[in-house]
Structure 1
Amino acid sequence: MNVMVTPKADDLSRRLFTVEDAFRMVETGIIGPDERLELIEGEFVRVNSKNNFHQSVQNRLTKALIRAVPDDLAVGIEPTLKLDDFTFVEPDIVLYRYSEAPRLTADRAMLVIEISDSSLGFDLGPKARLMAQAGVTDYWVINAQSLEVTIHREPRADGYGSIRRLGRGETLSPIHPDLTAVALRLADLV
């Protein structure tokens, strides 16, 4: 389905959509299953297509994580992550505990990873703020070109209290106590 995309209109009132509105639109066919959208503070945002390099990094990182995480945890590939009633995102990878809950929510996310190239500014800026506001305790943004990783921790209402950038050869370790066995270097994956 082709949908007209326009930049945000200034000074006009908007009807904001909820996450449940969005899921009903998918169920009824208003939004097609192949459309790459995120709901950001009540407004639909088109997600950029991935290039081959991005996909390669995602595939290799996913494979390494699946080998490293305990069997009772899930390695979600582009899952829908509900941050609040008006926001859902589809990060590249989320580590979380299996559950029968109908939606994956921020409080269950042990590690959220975005692999970014054309959306790097958005992932490091507005999306990081949304993740912090939702309480995501460990949010990594991997620059798909340089393989530098920006690690966001200590979520607060106004953003993250701790932001560190690590190079491709440095060891990455999640902070969640159930993920202590996970340690990797991006340089080893490519």
Structure 2
Amino acid sequence: MPTTTYEPELDTTRPFRIRWTRDDCARFERDGLLTPGKYELIEGDILRKMPQKRPHAIALSLTCICLRQIFGDLYVEGPVAIDVSPEDNPTSTPEPDLIVLNRPLTEFGESNPRPDDIRLLVEISDATRYFDRGTKASLYARAEIVEYWSLDLVQRTLHVHREPREGKFQSVTVHNEDESIAPLSAQDQAILVSTLLPPSNEDLE
């Protein structure tokens, strides 16, 4: 059975911090100091994106295939930059691994998808799993993303975040690889968690 979990609040107190903005990053890109697609701006921090390891790439491909089978090719996109809440937008440009859109991706032109364009958001989590379930979950909750999945490749579990309210997801459940879960926007389409995961070490022996 899925279990309900309550994520601990993280102490983010820092003695000194420079908070960068989207405008700063655009200027850094023009000056050749940043490379598009190689970093994320999260709560004013410029975070270098690490090269994908093979398990991450496999999980991303498997999850993308699964979601496209349910929602259609034109409704699943990623990794892609999105907008968040108005108060976070100036200092955050997250690039989730996958999003499921309410309308075809071809309709967006040069505009980032906004929170109300997104039916489901997915992060493939390995070395970043605590960050994804802490800082990023809070960012997505403040944006009122209706459903956020964090696929934990280390524990081989799926953390499902729902009911964003007052800056937090009120419902967070953890599903093991032998359990199934259906997206809120496709409740008749149950997904076995193991179908999203790369082969385990035992499977390869």
> With structure 2 as the length reference, what TM-score do the two structures score?
0.76
Instruction: Report % sequence identity.
Output: 26
1:3-82 alignment to 2 at 5 Å? 10-12=14-16, 14=18, 16-27=19-30, 29-33=32-36, 35=38, 37-70=39-72, 73-82=74-83
Structure 2 counterpart of 1:145: 154
In the TM superposition, residue 130 of structure 1 has moved relative to its aligned partner by 0.8
Q: Amino acid of the residue matched to residue 161 of structure 1?
A: Q
Structure 2 counterpart of 1:118: 127
- Alignment check: 8 A CA contact 1:116 1:141 kept: yes
In the TM superposition, residue 50 of structure 1 has moved relative to its aligned partner by 2.0
Q: What is the rounded CA distance, in whole Å, between the counterparts of 1:165 and 1:80 in structure 2?
A: 26
Q: What is the rounded CA distance, in whole Å, between the counterparts of 1:141 and 1:23 in structure 2?
A: 28
Distance 1:30 1:161, change over 3 A: same
Computed over aligned residues only, the root mean square deviation of the Cα atoms, in angstroms, reads 2.4
Q: Amino acid of the residue matched to residue 185 of structure 1?
A: L
Q: Of the candidates 100, 108, 113, which is equivalent to residue 108 of structure 2? A: 100
1:133-172 alignment to 2 at 5 Å? 133-172=142-181
Moved >6 Å (runs of 4+): none
Q: What is the rounded CA distance, in whole Å, between the counterparts of 1:126 and 1:168 in structure 2?
A: 24
Within the alignment, does 1:86 sit opposite 2:88 as a pair? no
In the TM superposition, residue 181 of structure 1 has moved relative to its aligned partner by 5.1
In the TM superposition, residue 25 of structure 1 has moved relative to its aligned partner by 3.5
Distance 1:182 1:70, change over 3 A: farther
Q: What is the rounded CA distance, in whole Å, between the counterparts of 1:168 and 1:13 in structure 2?
A: 39
Q: Amino acid of the residue matched to residue 122 of structure 1?
A: F
Structure 2 counterpart of 1:187: 194
Structure 1 unaligned segments of length 5 or more: list them. Answer: 1-7
Q: What is the rounded CA distance, in whole Å, between the counterparts of 2:22 and 2:54 in structure 1?
A: 30
Q: Specify which structure has the higher proportion of strand.
A: 1
Structure 2 unaligned segments of length 5 or more: list them. Answer: 1-11, 199-205
Q: Specify which structure has the higher proportion of helix.
A: 2
Distance 1:32 1:164, change over 3 A: same
Distance 1:11 1:108, change over 3 A: same
Structure 1 residues 76-134: Cα deviation after superposition (integer angstroms, max 9, x where no partner): 12111221222111111111123335112222111010111101110111111111011
Q: What is the rounded CA distance, in whole Å, between the counterparts of 1:75 and 1:95 in structure 2?
A: 5
